[in-house]
Amino acid sequence: MKMWSGRFRQPLDAEFEQWQRSFPYDGRLLPFELVASGAHARALERAGVLTPAELTEILTGLDQIGSRAEASPEFLNDPEAEDVHHFVEKQLATLIGSVGYKLHTGRSRNEQIATDLRLFVRASIDTLQEMLASWIDAFLTRAEKAGNAAMPAYTHLQPAEPVLVAHWLLAYVEMFLRDAERLTDCRKRANLCPLGSGAVAGATLTLNRQAMAAELGFDAPTANSIDATSDRDFAIEFVNALSQLALHLSRWAEEMILFSTPAYGFVELPEPYSTGSSAMPQKKNPDLLELARGKAARVMGCATTLQTLVKGLPLAYNKDLQETQEPLFDAADTVISMLPLVTGWMQTVDFNDAKMNQAAQSGFMNAWAAAAYLVDRGVPSRLAHEAVGKAVQLCIERGCELKDLTLGDLHSIHEAFKSDFPSCLGLPEVLALHDVPGGTAPRHVKRALQNARERAAALRTQEPLAAR
């Protein structure tokens, strides 16, 4: 039977009836709907609405629904179920008769969907944190292996200064650690229990909300029934955090694509994650990276959809909120399916250390170090800059590097250049010059790596849901 047919005299338009259903996509919330219903049933028994025997019947019924859904996905092919809440009610009545209809006493689907979605977001965050830990680990392992290998760093995509490969990899680690932190933070606000909020004004029974919240691993009940039934901030925050993560993945993907082109040649695309061209036999294309870059658009689109849905929505529950489900699921699915693949890519890819190292030593990336040499000898910074600029210009004309200029050449530009000048131009000297915490001097990168390892390990030690 329908959940609301009593006051209606006419049947629903058949097309509308199908069109307004959410069950085709909210069926995936079944596990959450079942545990939340179990918690509500126990609260009903404590409130004296269900006898202990009725409670047992209901809990057994809910269990059976869960097992049947797990055993065969076709069980969920129910063209009549309006949504996951209706599906459970129908199945429960089929299994245990009219006692099943007692489960809905004192509750509303408005609090149920808010609860299920919070449980979905929480479970997704826990999955994502595990995945992010492996993803970050792939960078840290590579950074450890890279030792003192160097590469160019770019500004304006023009060669700027040499850096340690490890320093470059740790830049990505920072981005992804921030993403993990954002998810942890989002989880805190999501982890509150709407059960007991009713349709909008609170349950019509004195249900023990603390007990329901605790049973479901929530930190506390939500504070206001109007907010609890209309709030989707937790979904918006979550998908915004995913957007930011997807955005970082797309920046990473773009840089890998660039570095894999022959012009750079720093990255050898791993065959298990690349494809060929049907036309050009020589091609190996970075499809995984291109799709990762593209998926960011999709996740950001989901975030925009969610925000636009809630914008201007009056309190409290409005059916528009049903439309928040699909973008929420899509964003979570997109990122959850992507992370293990990019991790596999990162674990498999080969970096061309020789090419990176060579690129780090050409193209005047030691020019700032050359200017620092003059500054050390009392030349004002602006004048040192000017002098080295002139030296670079001379090199460009001659097709050589700074170290190839004679002392005579240098003196014609500035008399502070001395015969020891070339000793400041070598790669190790240039790297060591950046001797500040957060800079690329090897001793600081070593410490930064250790520090990042510790912060990444903390991701794994966060209390998992199962341990609650």
- Residues of this chain that bind ligand ARG (CB under 6 A): 22, 26, 83, 109-110, 113, 317, 319, 321-322, 325
- For residue 351, give the 3-state DSSP assignment: strand
- Determine phi and psi for 147, rounding to 5 degrees: 55, -125
> Could you tell me where the beta strands, DSSP code E, fall in 240-363?
267-268, 350-351
Cβ proximity to ligand ARG: between 161 and 231 the closer is 231
Distance in angstroms (rounded) separating the CA atoms of residues 365 and 4: 73
Instruction: Give me the helix-helix angle, 109-146 and 233-260, nearest 10°.
Output: 30
CB of 117 to ligand ARG, least distance (A): 8
Burial environment of residue 10 by CB neighbours within 10 A (0 to 12, 13 to 18, 19 or more): exposed
Can you read off the two tokens belonging to residue 39?
């918690």
CB of 36 to ligand ARG, least distance (A): 13
Whether 150 contacts 431, CB under 8 Å? yes
Active site residue 277: yes
Distance in angstroms (rounded) separating the CA atoms of residues 264 and 259: 5
CB of 325 to ligand ARG, least distance (A): 6
Residue with tokens 């020019």: 367
CB of 83 to ligand ARG, least distance (A): 4
Distance in angstroms (rounded) separating the CA atoms of residues 464 and 148: 37
Distance in angstroms (rounded) separating the CA atoms of residues 133 and 137: 6
Tell me how many degrees the CA angle 347-136-182 measures, rounded to the nearest 5.
150
Can you read off the two tokens belonging to residue 201?
């004004």
CB of 196 to ligand ARG, least distance (A): 16
- The catalytic residue among 277, 362, 381, 423 is 277
- For residue 192, give the 3-state DSSP assignment: strand
CB of 91 to ligand ARG, least distance (A): 16
Q: Quick one: residue 378, left, alpha or beta (phi over 0 = left, psi -120 to 50 = alpha)?
A: left
> Could you tell me where the beta strands, DSSP code E, fall in 304-344?
none
Cβ proximity to ligand ARG: between 26 and 45 the closer is 26
Enumerate residues 6+ apart whose C-beta is below 8 A from 223. 192
Active site residue 414: no
Instruction: Give me the helix-helix angle, 109-146 and 442-460, nearest 10°.
Output: 150
Can you read off the two tokens belonging to residue 187?
């989880």
Instruction: Give me the helix-helix angle, 367-376 and 381-398, nearest 10°.
Output: 140
Instruction: Give the end-to-end CA distance of the chain in Å, rounded to a whole number.
Output: 37
Cβ proximity to ligand ARG: between 114 and 216 the closer is 114
Q: Length of the chain, please? A: 468
CB of 39 to ligand ARG, least distance (A): 18
Distance in angstroms (rounded) separating the CA atoms of residues 216 and 209: 11
Residue with tokens 């790596």: 449
Whether 121 contacts 460, CB under 8 Å? no
Give the active site residues. Answer: 156, 277
